[in-house]
Structure 1
Amino acid sequence: MTRPATGWETYKRLLAYVKPFWLAFVFAVIGNVIYAGASTGMAAAMEYVIAAIENPTDENRVMLTGLIVGVFAMRGLGTFFSQYFISYVGRNVINALRNDVFDRLMKLPSRYFDDNASGRLVSKLTYNVEQVAEATTNAVTITLREGLTILGLLGFMIYTNWKLTLVFLTVGPIIGLVVNYASKRFRRISKRIQGSMGDITHVASESISGYRVVRTFGGEDYERDRFRDVSNRNLRQSLKMASTQAISVPVIQVLVAIAIAALVWTMLSPEIRGEMTTGQLVAFITAATTMAKPIRQTTSVHAKIQKGLAAAYDVFETMDEEPEQDTGTWAPARVDGGIEFDNVAFRYRDQLDDVLKEINLSIEPGQGVALVGRSGSGKSTLVSLLPRFYEYTGGDIRIDGHSLKDFSLRALRAQIALVNQNVVLFNDTVAANIAYGALRDCTREEIREAAEKAHALEFIDRMPEGMDTLIGDNGVMLSGGQRQRLAIARAILKDAPILILDEATSALDTESERHIQEALDTVMEGRTTLVIAHRLSTIEKADRILVMDNGQIVESGSHEDLLAAGGAYAQLHQVQFSEQA
């Protein structure tokens, strides 16, 4: 991943998003040109105002009133064109940028989400992208409008008296130095503000989603302190930004005032003034004083540009992350389900030791294999390698003789149904949660049938709107067992040849577990199934049981064989039997 070397490179990349909306951008530029022309015209018109005051004829009165109305009408037209069309461009850029970031997030590997808290990623999509909007809309509008106004007024001043204009321009380099210093400080502080906004979103989302744990364990004060800490950090950085802006703007104004004072002092010298009339002098001094506002505006806009650039760095950094490796092309309609682990090893990034070591395993199509072992023995990691949520670092895994890396990711994952211990449901209807994603075209009858097999109809039909009932954020309206049954219904509906059950019955009471076990026995028929189970009573009928310890398979066999062997499985069984007794 390469990070843009300079602000200009980032800005060029940002402007590439403007290209599709070039026509609207052209209209915005035209609006800014009209505005700048009208502002320059106001200064130039002072010569005619003085002339009209000195010679108040009917013709001059008509011309003067028409001039005033005309200039302000032109400014109004220019303002409308510049503001509306640049906003149109800006909002479209934000929409495109936000979609691109979200698209990239959908393609990033599991390790990226392990390394980055969800709250910070949400902050990138919301706050950071909005900051980019400031750089592409308000900042561009002000820079173009006020920049063109400065050029117009400067052109008029040079045309009127170039010697006096040189006096005015002597403060230019000093203003440049002030702006340069402020810009660097703005960029530095903006990065910190974005980091603190990510922290705010992260802490808030954790506290809100985990409110039951927070209240049960008396964590309100702790969470309040945590939130205030990150919020105060954001406040401190924001105040630094405000103070830099508040100091730089008046400093520049004073420098411009010194330039105007030097101008007035010089103007009173007859040799510099030359043949200039009173009207020309007034027009010249009006142009110089009118320039103070656009100079102030263009320098104050640097804060927005630097905020936008810092946000763009962060956004593009996510977009430049390497997506999941998807070089495979094999896409069978349906595999038989034979799985082979050939000397497989795996280690998480930045870890020295392998989490899985020398895994050799062959599973026949339709066979049910159970994985048991202490917590942390590598069971969940092993099954996570099958859908390629993580890339194994040694050996190979094959399905029907084809390496997992030969499959396209979409085709590989289409062959696998997964039920996790931590069920993920969406704030949608029951039906939409069962027929999720690629299953959304299933008929209502198929959805009901899957729900029935998962013993979920008994509570679905009691709901106010049945299948069309909204279940709240992550199924908050449902019990643990009901949520688990919806996840199992989703797996049944998928009808994949390979089924992974990771503690699928852990959230169920004994009665529900009996029902679910019957449903699972049905759904496991004819499918290659990998079951991770804590309660050994649920996997006694498995074709084969694998005992894992410290990332290795230490025992393999049927329930009866392993009990007779008196090894690790027999010990686990004895411990559980004693606990239940």
Structure 2
Amino acid sequence: MPSAPSQSPSPSAPAAAGVGAEASTARLILRLCRLAWGYRLQVIRSLVLQLVLLTLTLSGLGLLGLGIDVIGHAFDPLSEANPGGNKPPAWPLGYAPPSAWTSGQQVLLVAGLIAVIGLVRFALEALSAFWIAQLVQDIVVSLRSRVYDKLQRLSFRFFDANESGSIINRVTGDVQAVRMFVDQVLVQVLIMAVSLAFFAGYMLSLHVGLTLVCLLSTPLLWLLTGNFSRIVKPAYLENRRLFDTAIRVLSENAQGVHVVKGFAAQDAEVRRFAAANHAVTTQKRQIFQQVAIFVPLISFLPQLNLVILLIYGGWIYMEDPAFTVGTLVVFSGLLQQFSGQIGNVAQLANSVQQSLTGASRVFEVLDTPLEIQTRADPTPLPAPPAGGKRGGIRFEDVGFRFGKEDAVPALAHLDFEVKPGQLVAVLGATGAGKSTMLSLIPRFYDPTTGRIRLDGVDLRDLPLDALRRSIGIVFQESFLFSNTVAENIAFGHPDATQEQVERAARIASAHGFITEDLKDGYRTVLTEGGNNLSGGQRQRLAIARAVLLDPPVLLMDDPTAAIDPETEGEILAAMASAMADRTTFVVAHRLSTLRRADFVLVLDRGRVVERGTHDELMAKGGHYAEAAGVQAADTESREILGMDEAVDP
């Protein structure tokens, strides 16, 4: 049955500036960190490996400085006769090669150690990249499954309020944004923090004063980064909204391709998608402009540190005998490494805002409360009485609103009882509430007021899955999956035997065309939506799917609405067979069905305005009699014109 009228969610107000917005961002970051903490062994393993890589990097820099000091001392050694010469090298860890070693041998030793460190780093960096990729992939797969699982459990209200493009984007693009947080933010921040601590500690061990002077610009970088994050955050939120629109246009076009081609509207649709795509690009370009200013600025400021190093470090070298050329080279390498990590702050800040925007939309899905769910202590489905049937339905002063602020309820004061095995026909104009009423029985929605009972038990007290397996549903336009005919029929009962599938197909008058018209019979694979079948064939498969579980209650929401007259007779015959011995609600306008009903409910603006059998309502001369008169006149016209060859069941 069709979903409720689409209700666009009201645009959420932008986060308030200041403490509230910062607290919200902090909570989101904390939640993402908790998500990653679920994989803490993999995170810790990667961090330990990063510590090893940092140690190797620092060792390589130290050895480079040592090699320079060895070479410098060999060519211009410091002595009493040459006070301006190079100081002797200070070997680490108290180790020094034998005094008989020449300078060339010492240089070869240092060079060999650097080469070994390079090879080990190459292997460990490859292992680190693999571990991190494995970590983020595990998180993405798990999170995407969680989001998809939650979507399966959310009520129709969520889908009424969110466009399909937005939902698809949350499962795909927004989940990838969480991957970006783990890969490009969380892991990189941890690596950056450890790296900065190592580099700063090493520089302080070489010269405290020079370190402090060279790092004076660091606080300014953090201030600029915080300001940049506040500026681009709302821009990324808007970009995701525009991207949702583009996805929606694409999705609608794919689903409505027959309408588009039928009305020769391809050019208009191309322009429509181009406009949506252009809006995304234009808005993203504005973000790029801000990034294009911020990134070079962040990269420029650390370069000033090298100027300070050249001036102040050169003066220290001339004044401090313990400060060698090798030490100056090592300090320069450390400062460049430190500045390189600081330079990553620009890209990091950009990644943070992209990932937080997507992550917030993912968590919106995960945090949406489950409006329709099984209670903690459900009441089991009642067993049928001895020699009796199940399927009694009782509406008790039921009212329903799609939204709390709706001025007019969709349904109001529905109060009636259907005994097991009865056929109830529901009649009413478009928008009268027919489909909405039927959607309350399988708990697609819960009543706003009143209650509905199945065999004396409130629907909300029953296990949800058991309730829905007790109800067969045939929609106006039934959806079929890209699978075999047999698996489509057995969709609600995957363990059904072939015999059970064929029995359901026979009840639905589908066995004949399956075995005679389809090349592979029940093994025929249907295209998306079952488009390689006719409308009547799709409806008969839908009826077979509904009756396979032998449900005590059957809901048929105007299943012949989109069927041609010739096919209508076949569908009506299938319906008659399916409805036998079941409590059935059928939205119908055909007199043959209305006459067979145990009673008819006539709805108008969500209320039951007439109730009774066909003969009783005809005698009243109200809404029903008027509608039946139109139906009879139309049937007579069709018979005169030879158009109505269908036989009423």
User: Which residue is equivalent to 2:94?
Assistant: none
Query: Of the candidates 328, 339, 359, which is equivalent to residue 292 of structure 1?
Result: 339
Correspondence list, 1:437-452, <5 A: 437=492, 439-452=493-506
Go from structure 1 to structure 2 and tell me whether the alpha carbon gap of 1:58 and 1:217 turns closer, same or farther (over 3 Å shift): same
Go from structure 1 to structure 2 and tell me whether the alpha carbon gap of 1:78 and 1:333 turns closer, same or farther (over 3 Å shift): farther
- 1:34 pairs with 2:52: yes
Instruction: Letter of the 2:334 partner, please give it.
Output: A
Query: Of the candidates 345, 354, 360, which is equivalent to residue 399 of structure 2?
Result: 345
When the two structures are superposed, what TM-score results if normalisation uses the length of structure 1? 0.95
User: Which residue is equivalent to 2:25?
Assistant: 7
Query: Of the candidates 591, 611, 626, which is equivalent to residue 571 of structure 1?
Result: 626
User: Which residue is equivalent to 2:99?
Assistant: none
Go from structure 1 to structure 2 and tell me whether the alpha carbon gap of 1:334 and 1:499 turns closer, same or farther (over 3 Å shift): farther
- 1:314 pairs with 2:358: no
**Inter-partner Cα distance in structure 1 for 2:370 and 2:204:** 56
- 1:481 pairs with 2:497: no
Could you list the runs of 5+ residues in structure 1 that have no partner in the other structure?
A: none
User: Which residue is equivalent to 1:175?
Assistant: 221
- 1:518 pairs with 2:573: yes
Per the alignment, in what secondary structure is the counterpart of residue 596 of structure 2? coil
Instruction: Letter of the 1:302 partner, please give it.
Output: A
Instruction: Letter of the 1:510 partner, please give it.
Output: P
**Inter-partner Cα distance in structure 1 for 2:618 and 2:347:** 77
Go from structure 1 to structure 2 and tell me whether the alpha carbon gap of 1:367 and 1:405 turns closer, same or farther (over 3 Å shift): same
Query: Of the candidates 281, 293, 297, which is equivalent to residue 235 of structure 1?
Result: 281
Deviations along 1:27-82, one digit per CA (max 9) or x if unpaired, are 21122112222222233223212123222624213212212212312322331232
User: Which residue is equivalent to 1:248?
Assistant: 294
Higher deviation after alignment, 52-61 or 316-325: 52-61
Deviations along 1:236-270, one digit per CA (max 9) or x if unpaired, are 23223333333222112211111220221122335
Per the alignment, in what secondary structure is the counterpart of residue 39 of structure 2? helix
**Inter-partner Cα distance in structure 1 for 2:31 and 2:336:** 37
Query: Of the candidates 455, 468, 474, which is equivalent to residue 509 of structure 2?
Result: 455
User: Could you tell me how far 1:578 is from its partner in structure 2?
Assistant: 2.2
CA contact (8 A) 1:34 1:77 kept: no
Query: Of the candidates 134, 144, 163, which is equivalent to residue 209 of structure 2?
Result: 163
- 1:53 pairs with 2:71: yes
- 1:330 pairs with 2:379: yes
CA contact (8 A) 2:49 2:128 kept: yes
Go from structure 1 to structure 2 and tell me whether the alpha carbon gap of 1:41 and 1:373 turns closer, same or farther (over 3 Å shift): same
User: Could you tell me how far 1:83 is from its partner in structure 2?
Assistant: 1.4
Could you list the runs of 5+ residues in structure 2 that have no partner in the other structure?
A: 1-11, 16-20, 75-101, 385-389, 638-649
User: Which residue is equivalent to 1:420?
Assistant: 475
User: Which residue is equivalent to 1:221?
Assistant: 267
Per the alignment, in what secondary structure is the counterpart of residue 257 of structure 1? helix
Query: Of the candidates 514, 517, 534, which is equivalent to residue 589 of structure 2?
Result: 534
- 1:198 pairs with 2:253: no
User: Which residue is equivalent to 1:380?
Assistant: 435
Higher deviation after alignment, 520-529 or 365-374: 520-529
**Inter-partner Cα distance in structure 1 for 2:411 and 2:65:** 86
User: Could you tell me how far 1:84 is from its partner in structure 2?
Assistant: 1.3
**Inter-partner Cα distance in structure 2 for 1:62 and 1:325:** 74
User: Which residue is equivalent to 1:391?
Assistant: 446
User: Could you tell me how far 1:207 is from its partner in structure 2?
Assistant: 0.6
Higher deviation after alignment, 134-143 or 458-467: 134-143
Go from structure 1 to structure 2 and tell me whether the alpha carbon gap of 1:566 and 1:488 turns closer, same or farther (over 3 Å shift): same
When the two structures are superposed, what TM-score results if normalisation uses the length of structure 2? 0.85
**Inter-partner Cα distance in structure 2 for 1:43 and 1:500:** 76
CA contact (8 A) 1:484 1:507 kept: no
Instruction: Letter of the 1:342 partner, please give it.
Output: E
Instruction: Letter of the 1:296 partner, please give it.
Output: G
- 1:433 pairs with 2:488: yes
Percent identity between matched residues is: 32
**Inter-partner Cα distance in structure 2 for 1:277 and 1:522:** 98
Per the alignment, in what secondary structure is the counterpart of residue 35 of structure 2? coil
Instruction: Letter of the 1:166 partner, please give it.
Output: L
Deviations along 1:195-234, one digit per CA (max 9) or x if unpaired, are 2222221110101110111121233233222212221122
Query: Of the candidates 486, 494, 503, which is equivalent to residue 549 of structure 2?
Result: 494
Per the alignment, in what secondary structure is the counterpart of residue 199 of structure 2? helix
- 1:366 pairs with 2:426: no
Per the alignment, in what secondary structure is the counterpart of residue 301 of structure 1? helix
Instruction: Letter of the 2:326 partner, please give it.
Output: G
User: Which residue is equivalent to 1:96?
Assistant: 142
Instruction: Letter of the 2:421 partner, please give it.
Output: G
Deviations along 1:309-328, one digit per CA (max 9) or x if unpaired, are 11111100111001133326
Aligned residue pairs total 579
**Inter-partner Cα distance in structure 2 for 1:272 and 1:188:** 53
Q: Which has the larger radius of gyration?
A: 2
Instruction: Letter of the 2:215 partner, please give it.
Output: L
Instruction: Letter of the 1:301 partner, please give it.
Output: L
**Inter-partner Cα distance in structure 2 for 1:279 and 1:549:** 91
Correspondence list, 1:10-29, <5 A: 10-29=28-47
User: Could you tell me how far 1:471 is from its partner in structure 2?
Assistant: 0.9
Query: Of the candidates 297, 305, 308, which is equivalent to residue 262 of structure 1?
Result: 308
User: Which residue is equivalent to 2:181?
Assistant: 135
**Inter-partner Cα distance in structure 1 for 2:589 and 2:175:** 44
Per the alignment, in what secondary structure is the counterpart of residue 499 of structure 1? strand
Correspondence list, 1:100-139, <5 A: 100-139=146-185
User: Which residue is equivalent to 1:302?
Assistant: 349
Instruction: Letter of the 2:162 partner, please give it.
Output: N
**Inter-partner Cα distance in structure 1 for 2:313 and 2:108:** 32
Per the alignment, in what secondary structure is the counterpart of residue 572 of structure 1? helix
Question: What do you get for the CA RMSD once the two structures are aligned?
Answer: 2.1
**Inter-partner Cα distance in structure 1 for 2:590 and 2:124:** 74
**Inter-partner Cα distance in structure 2 for 1:564 and 1:376:** 26
Deviations along 1:386-437, one digit per CA (max 9) or x if unpaired, are 1111121122211222122221212221221110102111111111110003
Go from structure 1 to structure 2 and tell me whether the alpha carbon gap of 1:510 and 1:281 turns closer, same or farther (over 3 Å shift): closer
User: Could you tell me how far 1:337 is from its partner in structure 2?
Assistant: 1.2
**Inter-partner Cα distance in structure 1 for 2:316 and 2:544:** 94
**Inter-partner Cα distance in structure 1 for 2:491 and 2:461:** 26
**Inter-partner Cα distance in structure 2 for 1:334 and 1:477:** 41
CA contact (8 A) 1:164 1:272 kept: no
Go from structure 1 to structure 2 and tell me whether the alpha carbon gap of 1:15 and 1:270 turns closer, same or farther (over 3 Å shift): closer
Instruction: Letter of the 2:279 partner, please give it.
Output: R
Higher deviation after alignment, 447-456 or 535-544: 535-544
Deviations along 1:299-355, one digit per CA (max 9) or x if unpaired, are 322212221111111100111001133326012165511111111111210311122
User: Which residue is equivalent to 2:604?
Assistant: 549
Go from structure 1 to structure 2 and tell me whether the alpha carbon gap of 1:494 and 1:136 turns closer, same or farther (over 3 Å shift): same
User: Could you tell me how far 1:571 is from its partner in structure 2?
Assistant: 0.6
**Inter-partner Cα distance in structure 2 for 1:72 and 1:147:** 23
Deviations along 1:5-41, one digit per CA (max 9) or x if unpaired, are 4323222222323334322222211221122222222
Instruction: Letter of the 2:432 partner, please give it.
Output: S
Correspondence list, 1:62-81, <5 A: 62-81=108-127
**Inter-partner Cα distance in structure 2 for 1:272 and 1:226:** 70
